[in-house]
Amino acid sequence: MMAGSSVGAMVVGTVFIMVFGMATVTMVESIDESVKNSEFELSEPEVILVSVTDKVESTGPVLTVSLGTTAGTGYADGPVTCTTTGAGTGLTLSVSATDGGVTSASIVNPGDDYSTGDNTVTIASCGDGTATIDIDSLHDQNTITIRNTGSDTVDLSHIFLTLSDTGTKAQGIPFTPFVNHYSGTNLYLFPGEQLSTDAFPLDPTTHGFAIDGDPDRAFLAIYEYNDAETVTIT
Q: What is the pTM of this model?
A: 0.75
How far apart CA 182 and CA 200 sit, in angstroms, is: 9
Q: Are 35 and 78 members of one domain?
A: no
Q: Range of 126's domain?
A: 62-138
Q: Where are the beta strands (DSSP E) in the chain?
A: 47-56, 62-67, 80-86, 89-98, 101-112, 117-123, 132-138, 140-148, 154-155, 160-165, 170-171, 188-189, 194-196, 217-222, 225-230, 232-233
What are the residue ranges in the chain where pLDDT is below 50? Answer: 1-2, 7, 9, 11-12, 15-17, 19-21, 23-28, 30-31, 34-40, 42
Q: CA angle at residue 117 from 111 to 122, to 5 degrees?
A: 60
Residues 144 and 225 both lie in one domain: yes
Residue 115 in 3-state DSSP?
A: coil
**Residues 77 and 185 placed together within one structural domain of the fold:** no
Q: Give the pLDDT confidence score for residue 4 in this predicted structure.
A: 52
Choose the final residue of a domain: 121, 138, 155. 138
| Rounded Cα–Cα distance for residues 70 and 92 (Å) | 18
Question: 151 and 113 share a domain?
Answer: no
Last residue of a domain, one of 98, 117, 138: 138
pLDDT value of residue 230: 87
Task: Please give the pLDDT value at position 6.
Answer: 55
Same domain flag for 91 and 7: no
Judgement on whether residues 94 and 132 belong to the same structural domain of the protein? yes
Q: Does one domain contain both 222 and 198? A: yes
Instruction: Let me know whether 145 and 222 are in one domain.
Output: yes
Q: How many residues does the chain have?
A: 234
The pLDDT of residue 121: 93
Q: Are residues 35 and 79 in the same domain?
A: no
Q: What is the pLDDT of residues 214-230, one digit of tens each?
A: 999 999 998 877 888 88
Q: Note whether 54 and 162 are same-domain residues.
A: yes
Whole-number Å distance between alpha carbons of 136 and 64: 5
> What pLDDT is attached to residue 25?
45
Q: Which pLDDT tens digit goes with each residue over 53-96?
A: 999 999 999 999 999 999 999 999 989 999 999 889 999 999 99
Q: At residue 110, what is the residue type?
A: P
In the chain, the number of structural domains is: 3
* Nearest by Cα to 198 from 47, 64, 59: 59
